[in-house]
Amino acid sequence: MNSHALARALFSLRLRANEWSGLVAVVTVWLLLAAGLPSRSPALFGAVLVVYGAALVRALYREVFAPARPRRHAAAHELELGLLLITAAYLLIAATGGPRSALYPLIYALASFLMIVHRRRAIALTWLAAIAALELLIAHHFAPGRITAVAGYHLTFIAFFAAGNLLILSGLVRRLRQGHDQRLDAELSRLSREARDFRVGAAPQSIAAAPRSRELDEQRMDQGAVQTIHEQLALQVSLLRRALGLHTCAVLWRSDDPARLAIAEIASDSAELVDPRELVHAGVLGGLLRDPRPVRLKSPLGRRLPPYYRAPVAITDLLALPLVEDGQLVGVLCADRIDDREWSDADESLLAAAAQQITRAVAHERAFAAALRGRYEQEQFFRASERLGAALTLSDVYAKTFAAVAAIRSYDLAVITGYDPHSGRHRVLAVDAVDAGDAANERRGPWAELAASLEGELFDDGASLLAIALKNRHPLPAGDAPLDPDAVIFSPRVRLSRARSLLILPLMHGEAQLGAITLISARERAYPRSARELLRVISHQVAVSLQNARMYATMEERATTDGLTGLTNHRAFQERFAGLHALAERRGGKLAVILTDIDHFKKINDTYGHPVGDAVLRRVAAIFTGRARKVDIVARYGGEEFVIILPDADGAGAEAFANKLREEIAAQTMTSDKGPFHVTISMGIAEYPQDTTARPELIERADQALYQCKHGGRNRVLRWSQLKSAPKAKP
């Protein structure tokens, strides 16, 4: 008995350990990071990482491929997967340099993504707490003397990215999801009794399958609905034909032209049936189309034959019953015999019941298809939200906005505009057209040509629909009525004669007016109410993503730009210089390095003050930037030193360029409270590959030439190759 109890206890313990293995792996890695094991025992830490990777793969597989989990485990699994992803991201950060890692944007993207997809607010807050704890661990390990500054810097940006998604988008998504779930549950509960089992099981597969074009998805949903209707109609007419001894039983459906019919389904032994589904005329059924009442005919001949026969058939009895839905005639159920048996009241009652069942089956399938399409729209919306949440750069936001909108509703032309409240003007930021083709295809359609003409355009804040929508902070037009061809969308000079549908979605972030998304289609009523609501929520997320991208661009600029001069800073210079040097090596090219220094700069600071010295640095930097090419690198090297990299330039060309800079700066008049003064610069040049092929030596030899300039009277330009001997660099 004791052994059985022990076995059960061990089995239960193994199940619990298997269930919580991911959280155990997370806690283990955290403890090892805190203890500094990566540097003390790399081999042991590597083994732990293998186990951790297996736990992460298991959690991802369970989330994506495993069957639906019990509700009591859903929260734990969600928390576990988020912690595994967060910890994995910080392991990458730790392995690539800690706080200075180039992979840090991955943390911001992951935080934004998790704040959107979370199902419980408590879990989202737990993830944020885990991110804060790991930030402190990373700062403690890599910058022990600056833990608060380093961790606080990154947590500020993480909090900004997370808050925008947690407080704004997640609430909108949650309300939309709850409302949709309620409507979908009510609709599906009513339809599940009549829908076939394979239809209920096939719907999620068509939605969750690999990404396809929207047109293909809609086509497959329509085909599935039509196929199910045909199967039900075929069963009905086949059973009626056998039960009543009919020669032919047919369901004729009313087409777009109310006076014409089309064969929806037919069962017959006759070889004289018409080939096309669309009937040429209604024939004997014309009166029924005008007055929908049952029709009995005895021995119909000539024009009195049913319209589904192409040649005379010896029909002895015909019975036609109207198919009515919501008081409107939608079709006709026809039955005929060739054995001269008259129709009894029981026959007519059976056919009338079948007619009601046919209209009911079509209505149910139509409602089921509408519910399925609504679910598809929601799936596309959630997928679009995930894409936008991961966008970091402005170009990425633009591209994913177009993809997100296209997943919800197709368009012929989409325009993203930005609004400047100071100038009161709208600028076209990005344009997408359906007929743009690819870069290799020179032929472009009219929409692509219009898109090309709109790129970078500026529009005044006048009486256009774009300006009105942004001022009113509400989408325009209010309904889905056809677009007035004379309507001014952007400005009077932009003509959109092919446009039939329009939707302008303002981009608002709090009280700030960021711009708008304008969707234009050549189809009428392309943006119904259901799609407009989804697109409106998408526009809220686009606004947040735009703000995030602008913040990211500002952060990236601050990380690579000198705050005083606006030039590339020393760290970013080294990265760009390494790239140009590697390119020159690979292509056998050349480049020149100019290292320059402001003469007697310390004296300028002592005499005129540091604010004047800062103004001198900014003036010199502006001259360098104004004279340099786009491919050149102009950077502040440190203090009053600057460095310029000239790709595809030799020593003589660099010397001529440097002398022009020196003369222009010497001609500048600087102002101060103590009167005007002039400054001069000295410049040393080294060239690749004549002077050296090693990148560090290029800087060193340019520095040696600069040092010689300083000792030779200053206000000079000197190439290293012109030195009689290579002096040592200044200490």
Distance CA 376, CA 503 (A): 21
Distance CA 260, CA 283 (A): 10
Single-letter residue type at 218: E
Distance CA 50, CA 44 (A): 10
SS3 sequence of 156-214: HHHHHHHHHHHHHHHHHHHHHHHHHHHHHHHHHHHHCCCCCHHHHHHHHHHHHCCCCCH
Distance CA 509, CA 539 (A): 10
DSSP for residue 409: S
Q: Among the options 365, 640, 687, 700, which is catalytic?
A: 640
Is residue 640 annotated as a catalytic residue, yes or no?
Answer: yes
Question: For residue 413, what are the β-bridge partners?
Answer: 433, 520
Per DSSP, the three-state class of 339 is: coil
Distance CA 109, CA 104 (A): 9
Rounded to 5 degrees, φ, ψ at 490 are -105, -55
389 touches 172 (CB < 8 A):
no
Identify the residue whose tokens are 């606080």: 152
* Tokens linked to 527: 């943006």
Distance CA 643, CA 60 (A): 49
Distance CA 287, CA 683 (A): 100
Single-letter residue type at 203: A
What angle (nearest 5°) sits at the alpha carbon of residue 356, between those of residues 350 and 360? 140
What angle (nearest 5°) sits at the alpha carbon of residue 646, between those of residues 645 and 647? 115
Could you please report the per-residue DSSP string of 430-491?
A: EEEETT---TT-----HHHHHHHHHTT-EEESSSSHHHHHHHHTS-BSSS-PPPPTT--SS-
Single-letter residue type at 214: R
620 touches 679 (CB < 8 A):
yes
CB burial of 437-475 (b: ≥16 within 10 Å; e: otherwise) equals eeeeeeeeeebbebbeebeebebebeebbbbbbbeeeeb
Rounded to 5 degrees, φ, ψ at 539 are -65, -35
Please give the positions annotated as active site. 640
